[in-house]
Amino acid sequence: MDADDRSLLEDLLAGEHRALARVISKIENRAPGYRDLVSELYAHTGNADVIGITGSPGAGKSTLVDKLAETYRDRGETVGVIAIDPSSPFTGGAVLGDRIRMASTVGDMDVFVRSMSARGTLGGLSTATADAVKAMDAFGKDKIIIETVGAGQNEIDIVRTADTVAVLVPPGSGDDIQTLKAGILEIADVFVVNKADRDGADRTVQELRDMVQLGDGSGHEGGGHHSQEIIDAHDDWDGEADDADETDAGWTPPIVETVAIHGTGVDEFIDELAAHRDYLVASGEHAEQVRTRYAEEIRTLLREDVHAMLETELEAAGGIDDLAEDVRQGETDPYSIATDVLEPVATCLENLETGPDGSGTE
């Protein structure tokens, strides 16, 4: 790490928001040296609660995130918000821009809001989001909220980097619920029916409740599966062995009704987020969640690095276009080319396992 990046890291760890913004910019742009920076962040992470907020467009996510951040601040906690916008193909920057757009928290530097965009690769955005979370965690933010603009598969992949995922559902017809069911319902740890003062809210709550009861016991792929009894008892949890029977029951997603624009139901929402966090820790699921997340990070980095190495080998072998022309002319075939390109990589791996003299690494 060069001296400038070392200074930048020290400023971030010292709590300077300008340094945090610059580090996230380096991460998002894959600027030279960003990987060394992120590597240094790991030793300072693990203290923040990471909350994902997703749901269909128009559900009121930004307003709820605003009120959530405001309430956490009122409780004396610092907040980082990452607003994910993967839908800006023209400028390469987030449509939302890097501006703070949440009315209640404007000017409050203990609520740090950052928009992030795809910059061409949605898979890369998922990795960049996870790295930006680490930057905010190392900085010392107590709560980190990841808000997605849309509700497609790409946003689901991104929001999985959170410990607890809240899915917002607007009041409406059963068709909306059925549409959601195919994608984001199974990742929900908490359901929020926002705009609960509107017609159709009671019906939406009942449909969600029916769906949760139908799915209870089958589990879902998000972080949690819980029971209502555990929610009711979460204030008494201390993580001791006495609670083992309770935590074994799993986690059934609660349904919270909010009117975010008025702040109604936000305290109850925060209570359920805290209940899920308590469940994760007491059940041991949080440790498993973190292990799974790190395993996927390792796989992703290895894929990226191996891909880059193979591109270099392809160029050394004459370039992909020339190789494709050789196949077209019948001089070779894709399988033979793949074997030839991978051969030096395979040889290197064999040498690592056995030692260059064949005697083994031990």
Among candidate residues 101, 191, 83, 79, the one with its CA nearest the CA of residue 147: 83
In this model, does residue 243 exceed pLDDT 50?
no
Determine contact, residues 104/70, Cβ cutoff 8 Å.
yes
Q: Can you give the pLDDT at residue 268? A: 96
In this model, does residue 2 exceed pLDDT 80?
yes
Over residues 311-334, the pLDDT tens digits come to: 888 888 788 999 999 999 999 999
Domain boundaries defined on the chain: 45-284, 296-354
Percent of the chain residues past pLDDT 70, beyond the cut: 75
Q: Can you give the pLDDT at residue 127? A: 85
- 345 — pLDDT class (breaks 50, 70, 90): confident
Name which of 11-15, 298-302, 344-348 the model is least confident about: 344-348
In this model, does residue 280 exceed pLDDT 50?
yes
Among candidate residues 28, 45, 30, 40, the one with its CA nearest the CA of residue 2: 40
Q: Can you give the pLDDT at residue 283? A: 95
Average pLDDT score over residue span 268-295: 94
Over residues 139-166, the pLDDT tens digits come to: 999 999 999 876 566 677 777 789 999 9
In this model, does residue 275 exceed pLDDT 80?
yes
Name which of 205-219, 281-295, 299-313 the model is least confident about: 205-219
Q: Can you give the pLDDT at residue 200? A: 84
Determine contact, residues 235/244, Cβ cutoff 8 Å.
no
Q: Can you give the pLDDT at residue 204? A: 86
The Cα–Cα gap between 362 and 360 comes to 6
Q: Can you give the pLDDT at residue 217? A: 46
Among candidate residues 160, 308, 328, 188, the one with its CA nearest the CA of residue 256: 188
Does domain 45-284 fall into CATH 3.40.50.300?
A: yes
Q: Can you give the pLDDT at residue 341? A: 84
- Check residues 8 and 56 and name the one with the higher pLDDT: 8
Average pLDDT score over residue span 339-346: 84
- Check residues 76 and 219 and name the one with the higher pLDDT: 76
Among candidate residues 53, 148, 123, 46, the one with its CA nearest the CA of residue 299: 123
Buried b or exposed e, range 246-277, using 16+ CB within 10 angstroms: bbebbbbbbbbbbbbeebbbbeebbebbebbb
> What is the residue-averaged pLDDT of the chain?
80
Q: Can you give the pLDDT at residue 335? A: 96
Determine contact, residues 201/171, Cβ cutoff 8 Å.
yes
